[in-house]
Structure 1
């Protein structure tokens, strides 16, 4: 959370647990000699500050963007327990909250449930959604809808804004189609994540002609390095495809060295430097092929608007619900291959650059959110 000091300096307010034996609340700014200024500094664990964003001199814009609880139609809470909210998402969240007659408050699940907020936005990941499952079920059990961003929960009463499982299905299905429905696949699921593992197995179950081998991949080892991938390809000359949910640039570095014959099909990502390597590989070996998806980038903005429309009485369109649990909102996103890469590069103004340098879908407009996900 950000606010102004009495001297008019804007600072950030956070909780942190890395500076002592317990959590404390800190002000963060370069106006402090050590950057961090401990506000609480007591033996208890102090977490999740919820002070208002504008407690100093307010401008007309900030006054309009922060309606009082009395004038707001709804109170929408949001949680970011794992700190996965990106700068773009922070901006998108603030913009959506300022555009609507709502109050947005940050806290953890338990506190938001106790505050009886009208809905909860969960900034999530494929790891966080598993660890927070009891809290998600606790919220929907209290009739508080939960909107999970960038991950998928199976909780009834929750909605997912993600194409995670869909992207896995699209990229693997493309590989298997290119292979003619038969052949060998080697794949990596980092950290043995159960959600990604389940998504991969779902696609494999629909393709009995594919012989799949999973190799271990951990964040603290070098399992998916270009050297190991190169050795894998040389030891398995009939390997048809390699898929990984992390470190995919290492796949490309290894495969682009194959000058002749059919290299294994791989998945790619849409970063500028990666795209350059992709194009070089195509020039070196016309048989090289890769696939990538443009993933949703505006889920924070879209999540706030989805919650607002839902609370306002709009009915979710059942045809817009997809995913492994039937509660994931549908995204129409491009699947980029060799054949469509040029067209994608010619339409970059339709996308935006994400925080990590990867092209992503820009937030949908409020009108499009209403049209795509709700019944008129």
Structure 2
């Protein structure tokens, strides 16, 4: 893993890095026979470095052994220690400065920067085994710095004199200058899948983030405000950096962003970054590892950061020296839990936000994308959005996820597929609640019309069953999915002009259009307005309030479709992945695969209170309630 941005705060986060694997006996480091000086080729020539972008083979978990540099010996040396801070060993033992260690993904080797004496004086990158043996020079461009391993461990990228290079670690082929430009490029690093290389470009005062393909092509600018001097890949292939955009209002200091510059999100602060840069303790706890300096001290120590430690910190080094550039192998420890979100849509952004709320509470990595992308990314569970009762992806990718052993939690829709759970309101109860309220207000008699615009919700049978219980209710008209829902406003107006005695109009969508059809175009006097359904949202509540200013006797009911279903679905997935078992008696719905959430009912009696305190009509079960209501007691 690689370093994280230096931050000067009351607590100075000097660097976040990564750890390694083996704890074999440590022989004395030996400088190997220097090889012939390698030539450098530019990208216009045939490049000898080939990186596979196919995920590397999964290996058995190994310990997150830590590498760091320290000046405790009077000069900078590379040290290694166990994940709990024990067995601290100087691996380099050289009078020169050795610094900036980075582990190979499998924990077998360490690359580092050194200005040690050799036949060609200067600063170069060296590689050694995890125990310090077989130490040898790899690069021959003076000023080589910031090494970073490819995900398959076959190559390094590094910076030298303002250009980005790559080189095979085994010494075969030639180093390749990827940029070879008059601009100054800095701090290159490889994406977790090997498909991109990240770097910053600019002078000391003004730098932005860019990505390129490993062959130097397709340069893409990610930030543009000139304030991004450092950046780092997260384990899910996003970029971690500070705020970097001119045309947007700043909302994060620690930000994550896609490599194409899209989907900027707040990464959180101390204790939250473990999801992006996971470190595993000897007790398999998922924590952060960082070099920290307190009270503006120039001396930093290495700490673990987690809720299980007193004051949230465990100090691993205590030598009255500057210990920094902490790193550990990318493949060490366990794979962190990942719950993905599929089917994101701007019209249901509140669902995505409530899902993210759960991710933030558990400090989990929660990538978003298509189901196919999430399956390829190796997520452990998927929460799938729906729109108007229809899943945002068809059954083929859903089945592929289930076949891969990935449970899918479908929001506000139902699907008859093993391995798929629906987290939804009880649609029959939702429809019946509005219908019965209207029929009771009507005194069980009178003219009635309804708009069943979204057949995927399955309201048709409930509507007819409820109507059959009120024989004096006369249905004068109804609209369904065959009709144009966008014409609901003029249809409503014409309906009332033809049937001015209609007492109530029920709908499961296009609430505002129907309301406007009544209020603005029907010509019906205010005291004759029918009972209506208002939209269970902030805009619906606002419209209701505005109509009351014109017609204080107006009556309406609003029923929530809580975006909190996504929060509840996150925790259902989270508990299932942690070994909890879903209670069969909690499963309901058309296919016996639905976990029901409550919905808020708003009438004139509680409208003001809801408008003041919960205008979105959202409902969140607490994690404890979810565990108790939906899972078997262990």
State the Cα distance separating 1:261 from its structure 2 match. Answer: 5.5
1:207 equivalent among 467, 490, 495: 467
1:274 equivalent among 539, 543, 549: 543
Q: Do the aligned residues in 2 keep the contact of 1:79 with 1:123 (CA within 8 Å)?
A: yes
Q: Do the aligned residues in 2 keep the contact of 1:160 with 1:327 (CA within 8 Å)?
A: yes
Which SS does the other structure have where 1:31 is aligned? coil
State the Cα distance separating 1:29 from its structure 2 match. Answer: 6.9
Give the whole-Å Cα distance in 1 for the aligned partners of 2:557 and 2:221.
41
State the Cα distance separating 1:292 from its structure 2 match. Answer: 0.5
Q: Equivalent residue for 1:41?
A: none
- The aligned length equals 328
Which SS does the other structure have where 1:246 is aligned? coil
Q: Equivalent residue for 1:145?
A: 407
Q: Do the aligned residues in 2 keep the contact of 1:282 with 1:289 (CA within 8 Å)?
A: no
1:338 equivalent among 591, 604, 617: 604
Larger RCO of the pair (alpha carbons < 8 Å, separation 6+): 1
Q: Equivalent residue for 2:23?
A: none
Give the whole-Å Cα distance in 2 for the aligned partners of 1:160 and 1:133.
14
Alignment of 1:33-44 (within 5 A): none
Give the whole-Å Cα distance in 2 for the aligned partners of 1:60 and 1:343.
37
Q: Do the aligned residues in 2 keep the contact of 1:74 with 1:101 (CA within 8 Å)?
A: no
State the Cα distance separating 1:99 from its structure 2 match. Answer: 3.5
Deviates more, 1:215-224 or 1:244-253: 215-224
Give the whole-Å Cα distance in 2 for the aligned partners of 1:161 and 1:222.
28
Q: Do the aligned residues in 1 keep the contact of 2:409 with 2:573 (CA within 8 Å)?
A: yes
Change (3 A) 1:92 1:260: closer
Cα deviation code 1:263-312 (max 9, x no counterpart): 322100243531313423652xx3x4211113312233322221010122
Give the whole-Å Cα distance in 1 for the aligned partners of 2:219 and 2:557.
44
Query: Unpaired runs of 5+ in structure 2?
Result: 1-197, 202-206, 211-217, 226-234, 243-253, 255-268, 279-330
Q: Equivalent residue for 1:52?
A: 237
Q: Equivalent residue for 2:368?
A: 106
Give the whole-Å Cα distance in 2 for the aligned partners of 1:132 and 1:253.
35
Q: 2:224 aligned with 1:31, yes or no?
A: yes
Give the whole-Å Cα distance in 1 for the aligned partners of 2:463 and 2:334.
49
Give the whole-Å Cα distance in 2 for the aligned partners of 1:56 and 1:327.
41
Change (3 A) 1:222 1:63: closer
Alpha-carbon RMSD: 3.9
Q: Do the aligned residues in 1 keep the contact of 2:557 with 2:603 (CA within 8 Å)?
A: yes
Change (3 A) 1:220 1:29: farther
Which SS does the other structure have where 1:223 is aligned? helix
Q: Equivalent residue for 1:223?
A: 487
Change (3 A) 1:248 1:311: same
Q: 2:498 aligned with 1:235, yes or no?
A: yes
Change (3 A) 1:86 1:332: closer
Q: Equivalent residue for 1:298?
A: 564
Change (3 A) 1:147 1:87: same
Which SS does the other structure have where 2:597 is aligned? coil
Structure 1 length normalisation: TM-score?
A: 0.70
Which SS does the other structure have where 2:610 is aligned? helix
- Greater share of helix residues, 1 or 2? 1
State the Cα distance separating 1:131 from its structure 2 match. Answer: 5.1
Q: Equivalent residue for 1:6?
A: 200
Q: Equivalent residue for 2:622?
A: 365
Change (3 A) 1:74 1:327: same
Q: Do the aligned residues in 2 keep the contact of 1:252 with 1:278 (CA within 8 Å)?
A: no
Q: Equivalent residue for 1:45?
A: none
Alignment of 1:173-212 (within 5 A): 173-190=436-453, 193-196=454-457, 198-208=458-468, 209=471, 210-212=473-475
Q: Do the aligned residues in 2 keep the contact of 1:76 with 1:103 (CA within 8 Å)?
A: yes
State the Cα distance separating 1:110 from its structure 2 match. Answer: 3.0
Change (3 A) 1:86 1:254: closer
Cα deviation code 1:228-257 (max 9, x no counterpart): 423211211332322233331233334356
